[in-house]
Chain A
Amino acid sequence: MRTHLTRLLVILPLLALLAVASPAHAIEIKRVVSPGGIEAWLVEDHSNPIIALEAGFRGAGATADPDGKEGLASMTTSLLTEGAGDMDSQAFQKKLADLSISLGFSASQDGISGGLRTLTENRDTAFDMLRLALTQPRFDPESLERVRGQMLVGLKRERERPGSIASRAFWTSAYPDHPYGRRGSGTPESVAALTPADLKQVVSQRFSRANLLVGVVGDITAEELAPALDRIFGTLPATASLPEIPDVQPAFAGDVMVIDRTMPQSTVLFGQRGLKRDDPDYFAAAILMEIMGGGFGSRLTEEIREKRGLAYSVSAGLAPMDHSAAIAGSVGTANARVAESIALVRAEWQRMASDGPTAEEVADAKAYLTGSYFLSLDGSGRIASMLVAIQRENLGIDYLDRRAGLIEAVTMDDLKRLSASLFDPKALTFVIVGQPEGVTATKPAPGQDS
């Protein structure tokens, strides 16, 4: 049984060293500008009668929620598809369903985005539905109260999930005096207090042509898209009215916080400061974090999962934001083994700070980062999201062609310099939810009643 394949496999290591061919050339991005001056990036693809459109609004997310109105961006996005124009919630939803149009909005900390997917035959109606949602949402009381109830239940569910409990405490401790320290889902008090006037203000102040980014993929030509952009977005105000969000460093100071919950397994989050997307060292940091916590073969997975069986999941990566940057990781491990897992994370942090990566690790990480980017583009909606993300980060319309080169250009010297300055074991901060053994908390977790 063992003989057949041996000969074939001898050549494996050689093959594995070949550089990955980048599939970038398969995706041709066109810049389309409407008669009214609205820009969109388009990837034409007529192989299926489908169009996907993503519209992003920069700066419109949870950071723009006034103090005491946390959850506002999130509630708004839920309600944009709950009736608009002369259609109430059920009429609006029935029209979407009958024409198989999928339309939904979501809010992140930094932005709000809407995704639309339609068959080509329903294109014009779909675009009208998007325009109505963005410009004439109704915020009927019945819908508002229903969504409020759903959000309040969502907050209750957050309190039963160890990952959500840990996440809230983790980010609040990292940004005690900044909007990034609040959660986009709000609090029971803030969600209870939101009013239709608040929602209308989001629509009138945060959606504008100035902070709009559009990506379109599928069965539509540039000539067809250009006038459609004006129809969808042309009536938006020219500029948005958004609060000034200060840049901030996360307040990770090497603390250990424990939130006591009766769970057989502790959920551990850990982090320190990171690098923003526009940092010249961003790709160097991405390579280092791939090596540290990127998945199978990474140092954390190797030491914590593969060698010792301490965890099922362990990972760490960059968390860049518009106004700050963190490195964040997580590990789930039995209560009795938390101390050992944490010690291993700290040891790996120290080892990276002292010695940097090896040449083999760097070659592997570069190959993975170069090749895997395109694997996620499985479907029109995902490609549309990528088009918006590239615009949001100002990476340039030729980014797909340049990306591999930027990764390859990172040198071992860059990586040694950055690993020594970036990885800071003393600042590495832990939030643990569970009943960890052998761990001493250095300060209480924020927002805990008990």
Chain B
Amino acid sequence: MTLPRSVLFRSIASLCAVLALLLAATPGQAAVFNPKSFTLENGLQVVVVENHRIPVVTHMVWYRTGSADEQRGKSGIAHFLEHLMFRGTGELAPGEFSRIVNRNGGQDNAFTSWDYTAYFQTVAADRLELMMKLEADRMANLALTDAVVLPERDVILEERRQVIDNNPSAILGEQMRAAQYLHHPYRIPIIGWESEMRTLTTQDALDWYQRWYVPNNAFVVIAGDVTVEQVRPLAEKYYGPIPRREIAPRDRVNEPPQQAARRLELSDARVQQPSVSRQYLAPSYVWGETEHAYALDVLAEILSGGPTSRLYRKLVIEDGLAVSAGAYYSADALGPGGFGFYGSPKPGVKIEKVEAAIDAEIAALLEKGVTDAEITDAKQRLRADAVFARDSIRGPANVIGRALATGQTLEDVEAWPARIEAVTRDQVEAAARAVLKPEQSVTGILRPKPAS
């Protein structure tokens, strides 16, 4: 989950979610995006993905810090600072950043996750230099006063009301994370706990900025109608002069093994339609038993890759119990990933029957495994989707940024199709057995509050 600065720009979070699945390519065709990369002397890495279809570029700056790096008691500060990065530098007045982008015909926004914070602009290719100038400026020269910080704190409190508190399903999701992660900071919502958000100060924001916003803790991804030869001198000119500064390493506590299944129920008068969700603690590409990660990607595709996949076919079409059902695997994380299931009943069906049907599917998977045909079909779909992933400018920039920000390398991104291709049936079944254990699950039930 990421939280964008503005709901006026919704596409980015969904793009990220979708494109995680789209990263694949035909065998023998080693490259996915053919990114080119160089690193400045101050430690800033720059990645370029060329796409010359229309004269447009997307310019993204990613910082390797997110809400999971927050100090206890300061929840929400990573996301708050993201908002404040638009509130002025020594040169620019509050709000001027976006106004300049807009009057150059461009769009800009930003988003924060547990592991990263990213800023981006999409503009005509001949405006790239200006964007680099602006981002370099706020990498080094943010200027904040209470006069702009305090109203913005009210904005993020409204954001919390809109995104979480007005939405019972988001409230349950927040509670489920807090139950799933016993110790790891992924248990804390990106937006923050309200009581702590209210106390965040200008100094807290500046401390956060000083601690993390340095070129050696950032990287730039540029995609679109530009070449690496054009980018290099511009990067040296604008980002190059910003001095590197040693920063404290990201210090994250680890997650102990989960040993007991957890279960939450939320009854809310606002809820009309019940639903069930279940998440298992899982490895990510870089955390835990990472050897299972690619097999879990294939497993998620088998269980949930469209209307012919196992869960939809069984629960929705054959048994007619549910209106929706599916599964997902999130592996792009520095810390623990998650493998999840969800379903919502057809009118007149009790939510318990949907949960039991999901349990039965999991049991059948663990007992009988998957078929060779399922493996072949899943790989084929992932492979074809890679071609579609290249049909975009913003998409590849997001995929690459997310990978680099969560501990992967460009080589990992480009090798993804080959690694998916190498997954065997035995590996998928072993991964399912390793992850789908009741004791490492959290189940959440959302239901209407019965009339009193």
Which A residues have a C-beta under 8 Å from some C-beta of B?
1-2, 4-6, 8-10, 12, 15-16, 20-23, 26-27, 45, 47-50, 89-90, 93-94, 97-98, 100, 117, 119, 142, 145-146, 149-150, 152-153, 156-157, 159-162, 261-265, 267, 295-297, 302, 305-313, 315, 332-334, 363-364, 367-368, 370-372, 374-375, 377-380
User: What residues of chain B lie closer than 8 Å to A264, measured between beta carbons?
Assistant: 161, 165-166
- Is the beta-carbon distance between A20 and B124 smaller than 8 angstroms? yes
Q: CB distance A26 to B155 under 8 Å?
A: no
B136 within 8 A of A: yes
Does B368 interact with chain A (Cβ within 8 Å)? Answer: no
Cβ of A50 and Cβ of B91 under 8 Å apart? no
Contact A312 to B158, CB < 8 A, known contacts A12-B133, A379-B391: yes
Q: Mark B143-172, 1 if CB is under 8 A from A, else 0.
A: 000000011111111110111011110000
**Among A50, A89, A368, which residue has its beta carbon within 8 angstroms of that of B388?**
A50
Interface flag for B141 (CB, 8 Å):
yes
**Is the Cβ of B130 less than 8 Å from the Cβ of A160?**
no
Given A150-B324, A297-B99, A334-B161, A90:B141 Cβ within 8 A: no
Bound together, the chains give a CA A310 to CA B388 distance in angstroms of 41
Are B102 and A367 in touch, CB under 8 angstroms? yes
Q: Which residues of A contact B317 (CB under 8 A)?
A: 89-90, 142, 146
Give the number of A-B contacts (CB < 8 Å): 239
Q: Is the CB of A117 within 8 A of B388?
A: yes
- Give A20 to B159 CA distance when docked, in angstroms: 33
A-side contacts of B237, CB under 8 Å: 8
Asked whether B241 is an interface residue with its Cβ less than 8 Å from the other chain, the reply is yes
Q: Is residue B307 contacting chain A, with contact meaning CB distance below 8 A?
A: yes
**12 other contacts beyond A20-B104, A150-B324, A378-B122, with CB at 8 A cut-off?**
A49-B387, A93-B308, A97-B377, A119-B387, A160-B272, A264-B165, A296-B8, A296-B86, A296-B98, A371-B104, A374-B124, A377-B56
User: CB within 8 Å of A: which residues of B?
Assistant: 6-8, 52-56, 86, 90-92, 94-95, 98-100, 102-107, 122-127, 130, 133-134, 136-137, 140-141, 150-159, 161-163, 165-168, 237-238, 241-243, 269-273, 305-308, 313, 316-317, 320, 323-324, 344, 346-347, 377, 380-381, 384-385, 387-388, 390-395
Among B123, B127, B157, B381, contact of A100 (Cβ-Cβ < 8 Å): B381
A266 to chain B, nearest CB (A): 9
Task: Judge whether A5 and B141 touch: CB under 8 Å.
Answer: yes
Residues of A with C-beta under 8 A to B271: 160
7 nearest A-B residue pairs (beta carbon): A371-B105, A309-B154, A100-B384, A309-B151, A20-B105, A265-B161, A312-B159
What are 7 A-B interface contacts by the 8 Å CB criterion?
Answer: A1-B141, A26-B53, A97-B381, A295-B8, A307-B151, A310-B158, A313-B162
Q: Which residues of A contact B54 (CB under 8 A)?
A: 23, 26-27, 374, 377
Most interface-central of A26, A367, A375 (chain B CB within 10 A):
A375
Taking CB atoms, residues of chain B closer than 8 Å to A380 are 391
B154 / chain A contacts, CB cutoff of 8 Å: 308-310
- Chain B residues near A309 (CB, 8 Å)? 150-155, 157-158
- Minimum distance in angstroms from A97 CB to a CB of chain B: 5
Chain B residues near A311 (CB-CB < 8 A): 155, 158
Whether the Cβ atoms of A265 and B102 lie closer than 8 Å is no
Partner of A5, one of B98, B136, B305, B307: B136
Please determine whether B323 and A374 come into contact, CB atoms closer than 8 angstroms: no
Q: In the bound complex, do residue A312 and residue B7 qualify as a contact, i.e. CB atoms below 8 Å apart?
A: yes
CB-CB nearest in chain A for B238: A8
Complex: A119 Cα to B385 Cα, angstroms = 9
CB <8 Å contact, A150 and B323: yes
Q: How far is the CA of A238 from the CA of B313 in the complex (A)?
A: 38
Contact with A156, one of B107, B273, B388 (Cβ below 8 angstroms):
B273
B53 contacts A47, C-beta separation under 8 Å: yes
How far is the CB of A96 from the nearest CB of chain B, in Å? 8
B156 touching A9, Cβ below 8 Å: no
Contacts of A50 in B (CB 8 A): 387-388, 391
Residue from B6, B127, B269 within 8 A of A313 (CB atoms): B6
Chain B residues near A261: list those with CB within 8 A.
270
Q: Are A371 and B270 in contact (CB under 8 A)?
A: no
Complexed CA–CA distance, A174 and B107 (Å): 32
Q: Is the CB of B102 within 8 A of A12?
A: no
When the two chains form their complex, are residues B151 and A308 in contact, meaning their CB atoms are under 8 A apart? Answer: yes
A27 to B55, CA, bound (A): 10
Closest to B15 in A: A378
From B53, B270, B324, B395, A263 is in contact (CB under 8 Å) with: B270
Pair A296/B151 contact, Cβ less than 8 Å: no
Given A26-B53, A313-B162, A48 contacting B387 (CB threshold 8 A): yes
User: Are B381's CB and A332's CB within 8 A?
Assistant: no
Bound Cα distance from A191 to B405, whole angstroms: 47
A78 to B382 alpha-carbon distance, docked (Å): 24
- Return chain B residues, CB-CB under 8 Å to A377: 54, 56
Q: Name the A residues within 8 Å of B313 (CB-CB).
A: 90
Closest A residue by C-beta to B269: A262
CB of A391, distance to nearest CB on chain B (Å): 20
Cβ contact within 8 Å between B393 and A378: yes
Q: How far is the CA of A140 from the CA of B2 in the complex (A)?
A: 40
